[in-house]
Amino acid sequence: MSIMQMDQAAVAATYKRFPVEIVSGKGSVVVDPQGKEYIDMGSGIGVTAFGIADEAWQQAVIEQIGKVQHMSNLYYTEPCARLATMLCEKTGMKKVFFSNSGAEANECAIKVARKYALQQHGADHYTIVTLQQSFHGRTLATLAATGQDVFHSQFLPLPEGFVSVPANDIEAIKAAAIEHKAAALMLECVQGEGGVRALDADYLQAVAAFAKEQDILLIVDEVQAGNGRTGKLYSYMHFGIQPDIISTAKGLSGGLPLGATLMSAKVENVLTYGDHGSTFGGNPVCCAAAISVFGRLTDELLAEVMAKGEYIREQLIGAPGVEAVTGLGLMIGIKTTKPAAEVLKTCMDNGVLCLTAKDKLRLLPALNIPQEVLAKAISVIKAACAE
């Protein structure tokens, strides 16, 4: 039996997988069982920040596995404490709760917001206002937070206390927040799954000012756009706003499951003993991996991310079959004349793995993809768009 046959027989059919089996890789190149190489322009959906089998990352993981692979959260471990310290130092946030995924990082953010609003404003202040075309996860609460009805209809009833409004419409979010006595506004500064769309800077600034004035918390979902992806450490840093809570995951640990919820001074003491927990959250191996990633998100690396993003834009804007290029840094959406799924298929046949988001081709390459590998991938993508 091939990997594909075995998988189809025994793994739940929730993923529409491409007929590609990956057995190994190095950097931005992955390899199938026959030795065919693909350039990986998706990084496991923005997860393998420094590529496949990155040496520094591997070393950090192996070293920690050799010491202790897991302890319960009843005890202290160094990687967890060190990573939280790094995250706070780099963002000005005060406390971190570690979990295992983006959805869980958002669940924690929602719990913090609900408890804060209960304490400050009363029991009827529990609603989380989110944006249409957002994506916040697959658990029931984060599904409710996700402003896309396609994900909802078969899983009703969803937890209550979530409403979504159109993005970039300041009056709509203000009205919903007042009407529903919002506990928090929750958004992605660059919507990922919703079509790789950066929100308007003046909208984000107006939202942040309104939230502050009303003492409604601002939760920024940095699960996909965070950890260097857009050319800043976190995407909100492009827009001159200050969130009360940041959630992140995907690229944080470079390929191991880790979520983090960062809390500002305003909410740092909201969660107390017994309020929240996770058996695996803050796992020492995942945290050691994240320290290896996070320690390398230097100004030089971020400048490189910006430069590579610019290179991709220069190559693609105005190219045949390309209608628009969206996103920030190395989080890129390409509106193609042909259906994005067809362009993706052509790229795959020609050895380049891409993603889609709604009607766009989406690229989330490793932050350190070598320029010559990137150039090769872009030439394949350009040809596929033009075909």
Ligand X SMILES: *Cc1c(COP(=O)(O)O)cnc(C)c1O
Q: Which is nearer to ligand X, 161 or 226 (CB)?
A: 226
Residue written as token pair 């390899």: 31
Closest distance of CB 63 from ligand X, Å: 25
Q: Which is nearer to ligand X, 51 or 226 (CB)?
A: 226
Query: Which residues make up the interface to ligand X (CB under 6 A)?
Result: 101-103, 106, 135-137, 188, 192-193, 221, 223-224, 249-250
Q: Which is nearer to ligand X, 103 or 378 (CB)?
A: 103
Q: Which is nearer to ligand X, 343 or 364 (CB)?
A: 364
Question: Cβ-closest residue to ligand X?
Answer: 102
Q: Which is nearer to ligand X, 138 or 338 (CB)?
A: 138
Neighbours of 274 (CB within 10 A): 6
Closest distance of CB 199 from ligand X, Å: 13
| Calpha distance 379→56 (Å, rounded) | 30
Residue written as token pair 């091939």: 2
| Residue 113, CA atoms < 13 Å, CB-side half-sphere | 33
Closest distance of CB 223 from ligand X, Å: 4
Long-range contacts of 58-64 (CB under 8 A, 24+ apart): 59/292, 60/288, 60/289, 60/291, 60/292, 61/256, 61/285, 61/288, 61/289, 61/292, 63/288, 64/284, 64/285, 64/288, 64/289
Closest distance of CB 102 from ligand X, Å: 2
Q: Is 222:234 a contact under the CB 8 Å cutoff?
A: yes
Residue written as token pair 């199938």: 32
Q: Is 353:334 a contact under the CB 8 Å cutoff?
A: no
Q: Which is nearer to ligand X, 147 or 192 (CB)?
A: 192
Neighbours of 234 (CB within 10 A): 23
Q: Which is nearer to ligand X, 40 or 193 (CB)?
A: 193
DSSP state letter for 135: -
Considering only the C-alpha atoms of the chain, give the largest distance between any 2 of them, rounded to a whole number of Å.
Answer: 62
| Calpha distance 166→172 (Å, rounded) | 7
Closest distance of CB 317 from ligand X, Å: 25
Closest distance of CB 76 from ligand X, Å: 26
Closest distance of CB 224 from ligand X, Å: 3
Closest distance of CB 135 from ligand X, Å: 5
| Calpha distance 328→322 (Å, rounded) | 17
Q: Where on the phi/psi map is residue 44: left (φ > 0), alpha (ψ -120 to 50), or beta? A: left
Q: Which is nearer to ligand X, 199 or 384 (CB)?
A: 199
